[in-house]
């Protein structure tokens, strides 16, 4: 059993050491989760598909991992020998004095330390008074705080980009056909006004999509639709509509029914 006086001086340092260790482990946890989330974002971007449960699973796994790290760190007993070695690495002039002091135990018969043992402990405590062992550990603790917050910010940014898109507003997405939400669907326009068509794909995102338009008594025309960044929405249209027409959206993953536009 370590001397009580020496233990009283080491306990605050041990708490800071453990806190720094916890922060570093949490930083690794946030970074690992953020990296997985970044991989999911790339998967969605290049394959156009991501399981709907991926976001929730990532959040749940991250919370459980962080809770496990915190629990195991707090429950781990203080290893005074390891702490003494760490302090001596930062204060090589101790020459194993602190490690020797930590290993001193009272005689079983008397329950007390002899003079030489007390002398070793007093010299170690005197060194602590003059050199403040907690200084380097506090410096690393502040660094660990910064690293942990930076890793957490990285994770939150990734989660913000990975979060599922909410359901489309009913006022915009007027029709659903073939797994594709289409706006404006069947509609009426003033003669000479433009037509803007938006198509949102609910399943796998195609590499490209086209708008097929057939004005009354005319041949079909095919127009490319443009994708909107990471959102699974394609858009395009006609600058001017002068007669009734029908249109539909076609892609490699499916097509919609024909929608009517009246002028």
Domain co-membership, 123 together with 203 = no
Domain co-membership, 116 together with 205 = no
Over the chain (263 residues), the average pLDDT of each successive run of 10 is: 66 80 92 92 72 86 92 79 77 75 71 73 76 75 90 92 60 61 86 86 82 90 81 83 91 87 88
Give the helix ranges, DSSP H, for the chain. Answer: 4-47, 54-75, 80-90, 97-102, 115-131, 134-162
Domain co-membership, 112 together with 239 = no
Global pTM exceeds 0.75: no
Domain co-membership, 20 together with 116 = yes
pLDDT for 62 equals 93
Domain co-membership, 194 together with 90 = no
CATH of the domain at 210: 2.60.40.10
Boundaries of domain holding 88: 4-162
Domain total in the chain: 2
pLDDT for 167 equals 46
Among the three residues 162, 191, 207, which one is the final residue of a domain in this structure? 162
Domain co-membership, 58 together with 153 = yes
Domain membership flag for residue 74: yes
Domain co-membership, 147 together with 181 = no
Among the three residues 112, 137, 162, which one is the final residue of a domain in this structure? 162
**Two tokens, residue 61:** 């796994």
pLDDT for 169 equals 44
Q: In sequence order, what DSSP letters do the residues of 163-222 get, joined into one string? A: SPPPPPPTTT--EEETTEEEES-SEE--TT--EEEEEEESSSPPS-EEEEEEETTS--EE
């Amino acid at each position: 059993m370590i001397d009580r006086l020496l233990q009283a001086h080491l306990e605050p340092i041990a708490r800071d050491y453990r806190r720094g260790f916890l922060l570093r482990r949490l930083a690794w946890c946030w970074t690992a989760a953020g990296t997985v989330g970044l991989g999911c974002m790339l998967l969605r971007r290049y394959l156009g598909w991501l399981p709907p449960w991926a976001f929730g699973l990532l959040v749940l796994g991250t919370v459980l991992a962080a809770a496990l790290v915190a629990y195991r760190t707090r429950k781990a007993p203080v290893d005074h020998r390891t702490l003494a070695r760490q302090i001596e690495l930062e204060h090589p002039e101790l020459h194993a004095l602190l490690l020797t002091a930590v290993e001193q135990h009272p005689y079983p018969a008397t329950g007390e330390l002899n003079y030489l043992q007390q002398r070793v402990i007093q010299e170690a405590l005197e060194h602590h008074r003059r050199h403040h062992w907690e200084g380097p550990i506090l410096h690393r603790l502040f660094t660990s705080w910064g690293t942990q917050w930076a890793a957490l910010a990285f994770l939150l940014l990734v989660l913000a980009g990975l979060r599922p898109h909410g359901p489309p507003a009913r006022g915009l997405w007027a029709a659903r056909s073939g797994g594709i939400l289409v706006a404006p669907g069947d509609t009426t326009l003033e003669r000479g006004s433009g037509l803007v068509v938006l198509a949102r794909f609910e399943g796998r995102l195609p590499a490209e999509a086209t708008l097929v338009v057939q004005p009354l008594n005319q041949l079909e025309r095919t127009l490319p639709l443009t994708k909107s960044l990471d959102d699974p929405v394609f858009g395009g249209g006609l600058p001017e509509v002068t007669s009734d027409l029908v249109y539909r959206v076609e892609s490699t993953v499916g097509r919609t029914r024909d929608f009517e536009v009246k002028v």
